[in-house]
Amino acid sequence: SGVEVIRRTRRPGLRELIASSNLQGPVSVGHIGYILGPRLNAAGRLDTAMDSYELLATRSADRGRELALKLEESNRRRQLLTAEAVEKARALALQDGELAPLIFVADEDILGGIAGLVASKLTEEFYRPSVIVQLAPEVSRGSARSIPEWNVTAALDRCSTLLVRHGGHAAAAGFEVENHQLDNLR
């Protein structure tokens, strides 16, 4: 199985990532999903995934250790930025005193790489579909998360004339929208 391959890996970078993560016991599916995976993903969420790629490709234990520590720091930063963005998005969603059936927050301070995480947290907390948009000067990017009763990609399909592009599945989607279409999309 894939877990066995990871447990026996000869890749120095992956061994260093496992060691720096202070895992208890042999690597498990839970370790991969909740400890190793987020560390590998953090770099790409905040900047570029090249550090993660290099960690997996390096043949040097020293470089692997250096990159593992860098990814650990990126993951901590991602956690902090996500928590701050969730607080901001929650405040914006509740600013009118009543929560709408669809949470729709557009803000320039919410990074596109964590918008889906923020949407997931709000959907989980309020049991409503959530759309989080990182505002950019002309074309903004958004992530949407949903509840089982509402297919978010089908909803975006119905709005496709307003969008530059979109894709996803029933529970999660992403899109790009020209800013002059944001109110219509909302």
The 10s digit of each residue's pLDDT in 108-164 is 999 999 999 999 999 999 999 999 999 999 999 999 999 999 999 999 999 999 999
* First-last CA distance in the chain: 45
Angle at which helices 50-57 and 37-46 cross, to 10°: 140
Exposure string (b/e) for 6-18, b if CB count within 10 Å is 16 or more? Answer: beeeebbbbbbbb
Residue 18 banded pLDDT, cuts 50, 70, 90: very high
Residue 97 banded pLDDT, cuts 50, 70, 90: confident
Mean of per-residue pLDDT scores for the chain: 95
Q: Is the pLDDT of residue 24 over 90?
A: no
Mean pLDDT within 56-84: 96
Residue 81 banded pLDDT, cuts 50, 70, 90: very high
Q: Are 43 and 52 in contact (CB under 8 A)?
A: yes
Global pTM exceeds 0.75: yes
Task: Map residue 68 onto helix, strand or coil.
Answer: helix
Residue 98 banded pLDDT, cuts 50, 70, 90: confident
Q: Are 116 and 131 in contact (CB under 8 A)?
A: no
Residue 181 banded pLDDT, cuts 50, 70, 90: very high
pLDDT attached to residue 140: 97
Contacts of 95 (CB under 8 A, 6+ apart): none
pLDDT attached to residue 63: 97
AA letter at 37: G
